[in-house]
Amino acid sequence: MSAKWNPWHGCHKISEGCRNCYVYRIDGYHGKDSSVIAKTKDFYLPARRTRGKNYKIPPGETVFTCFTSDFLLEDADAWRVEAWEMMRLRSDLNFFIITKRIHRLQSVLPPNWGEGYDNVSIACTVEDQQSADYRLPICLKLNKKTV
């Protein structure tokens, strides 16, 4: 099973791969400005519990993280610390993050990251050879678990 967790919404286009961004397209259809970055009502979703005290996202789920933004977006720096902590505490979930900003990863990792959290996988997108040449070496160097 899988779940979606979008702790914040919105993004800023940074490369050719952003030209046909699905978030901008969907937001535009609804009259929403995708360049406005905002914390969402689901920010605390991984930590939320049901009335029966079980987690709303059950153990073992893969959590697709920040698919209406970029987890490494500069505008989210103030919120990311708390997001990392929820991922660390919910070691029973598998968080999956895809970014175009892999160059920022090293500077925003939590102090207790070490060799990484076993339950977090980070990947980067590449839309052409130029972005592959730039992003893939960074991704492979920074996180042995990245793909």
The pLDDT averaged over each successive group of 10 residues in the chain (147 residues) is 93 82 83 90 97 96 94 96 97 96 94 92 93 92 58
Residue 100 near residue 65, CB atoms below 8 Å: no
Predicted pLDDT at 143: 61
- CA–chain centroid gap for 67, Å, is 7
With 0.75 as the threshold, say if the pTM is over it.
yes
Q: What's the structural domain count of the chain?
A: 1
In a domain, 147, yes or no: no
Predicted pLDDT at 145: 47
Give alpha helix (H) positions in the chain: 22-29, 77-89, 105-108, 129-142
Please count the other Cβ atoms lying within 10 Å of the Cβ belonging to residue 128: 10
Predicted pLDDT at 42: 96
Residue 119 near residue 93, CB atoms below 8 Å: yes
- Give the domain extent around 132: 2-8+38-142
